[in-house]
Chains A and B, each alone.
Chain A
Amino acid sequence: VAKTSLTSPPWPEVKLPDPVEEAKYHTEVVQKVNKMIATGQYGRLFAVVHFASKQWKITSEDLIMMDNVLEAECGDRIRMEKVLLVGADDFTLIGRPLLGKDLVRVEATVIEKTESWPKINMRFWRRHNYQRKKIIVNPQTVLRINTIEIFPCLS
């Protein structure tokens, strides 16, 4: 059959490797990463955490501000679950969509519970003698991420 421009799809054809070989390769990589974590060969860790309906990319010792009220008092230590991604210099652990709780541990402390700056909510219709002014102040909490830890229990 003659080859035209539509015989093969326009994207390059990718050959998938053998499943047995792939499984071997996977176990090798997993053992290597486990060893690295166990010996502690990682420097700074960063994590992607789902918190207060937002996803944050956090490292240790950094500040995060929420626009709501948490039920913890100032100075309380909080453990964050719902970790989506953890990464270091050489490797990353991607969760589908979450990582296990026995793998990662993210701890944070509540530093401050303040209110936001006074926001003005004004409605005005011209020529109708209608204006309403309302000042909105939201409560906010400031957290500081203390530590991100990983444990070598991959499989």
Chain B
Amino acid sequence: RYVRQLQRLQLLFSPTAADSRGARQFVEEAAVDFARQHPDVVLYVSPRAGSAPLLLAEYLNGTVREELIASKTSEEIKQLATKLAGQSGLDIIRIRKPFHTDNPSVQGQWHPLTNKPSALTVQGPRLQLQ
């Protein structure tokens, strides 16, 4: 029961600019392999002239992450893409606890009165047989 959190990967690059050479090589060589290895991710490739090459990743939460791929080799772009595919859409901020449970206590949470004899069993000066 595993659902990949990445919805769409949009690759924007321009067919002539020099810094999107790695993006063009990636599209020629590795894009088809990537799409086959991750069958539940949709990969859009849109050549656009005039803007810097970008890799847009949309997740099921609705968060959109943009990564610049200007002057990067196609292998680096592939690694980036796999990294983005493994992430989920949560914000990358400091998390306070490395664990999260919905049911933290199974045998009942400890309070200072567990494992202590109750007032009925304690023998005091007044609670003897009358």
Let me know if A74 and B2 touch, CB within 8 A. Answer: yes
CB < 8 Å neighbour of B87 from A44, A46, A62, A112: A112
A16-27 near B? 1/0 per residue, CB < 8 Å? 000000000000
| Interface residue? B122 (CB, 8 A) | no
B92-112 near A? 1/0 per residue, CB < 8 Å? 111100111111001100000
A11 to B: closest C-beta gap in Å: 19
| Interface residue? B83 (CB, 8 A) | yes
User: A93-132: which have CB < 8 Å to B?
Assistant: 109, 111-118
CA distance A114 to B1 in the complex (A): 19
Interface of A is mostly: strand
Chain A residues close to B by CB (< 8 Å): 43-46, 56, 58-59, 61-67, 74-75, 87-89, 109, 111-118, 142, 146
Let me know if B92 and A117 touch, CB within 8 A. Answer: yes
Let me know if B5 and A115 touch, CB within 8 A. Answer: no
Q: With A62-B99, A65-B98 given, is the CB distance from A111 to B106 under 8 Å?
A: no
